[in-house]
C-alpha cells in the first residue's frame, strides 16, 4: 500500500513539473523568444510554415531569404536552400541583433 501511494505521489509531482515547463514556453509566434525556442537547423520549409506560419516575404536572389516580421518591429531572416543555412534576428534598421542559427 505504501509503495502504491508513493508511486501516485511521484507521478503527480512529475506531471506538475512537466506542466509548469510547458507553461513557461513562449507561445507568441511573433516574438523572438518563440523563434529562439522552436527554430531548429534541420527544419524543412514545411516544418517552418507549420510552426511559424507563412513567411511575410522572400528577399532572396539565388537562395531564399524568408523573413518574418515580429510584433516589436524587428525581423527574423532565414536563409534557405534545401535546408536552413542561417537564421538572424534583425532590427527595424536592418542591423544584426543576434544569430539564431
For the chain, domain boundaries: 28-99
Tell me if the domain spanning 28-99 has CATH number 3.30.1450: yes
Q: How many residues does the chain have?
A: 101
Higher pLDDT, 98 or 22: 98
CB 61 within 8 A of CB 81: no
CB 76 within 8 A of CB 68: yes
CA–CA separation, 6 vs 76, rounded Å? 47
Q: What's the mean per-residue pLDDT of the chain?
A: 85
Q: What is the pLDDT of residues 79-93, one digit of tens each?
A: 999 999 999 999 999
- For residue 29, what are the contacts with CB-CB under 8 A and spacing of at least 6? 51, 52, 53
DSSP 12-51: HHHHHHHHHHHHHS---TTSHHHHHHH--TT--HHHHHHH
Amino acid at each position: 500500500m505504501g509503495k502504491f501511494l508513493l508511486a501516485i505521489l511521484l507521478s503527480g509531482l512529475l506531471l506538475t513539473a512537466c506542466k509548469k515547463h510547458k507553461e513557461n514556453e513562449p507561445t507568441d509566434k511573433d516574438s523572438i523568444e518563440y523563434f529562439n525556442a522552436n527554430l531548429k537547423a534541420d527544419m524543412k520549409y514545411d516544418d517552418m510554415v507549420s510552426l511559424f506560419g507563412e513567411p511575410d516575404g522572400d528577399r532572396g536572389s539565388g537562395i531564399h531569404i524568408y523573413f518574418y516580421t515580429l510584433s516589436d518591429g524587428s525581423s527574423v531572416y532565414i536563409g534557405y536552400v534545401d535546408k536552413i543555412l542561417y537564421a538572424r534576428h534583425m532590427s527595424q534598421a536592418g542591423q544584426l541583433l543576434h544569430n539564431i542559427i
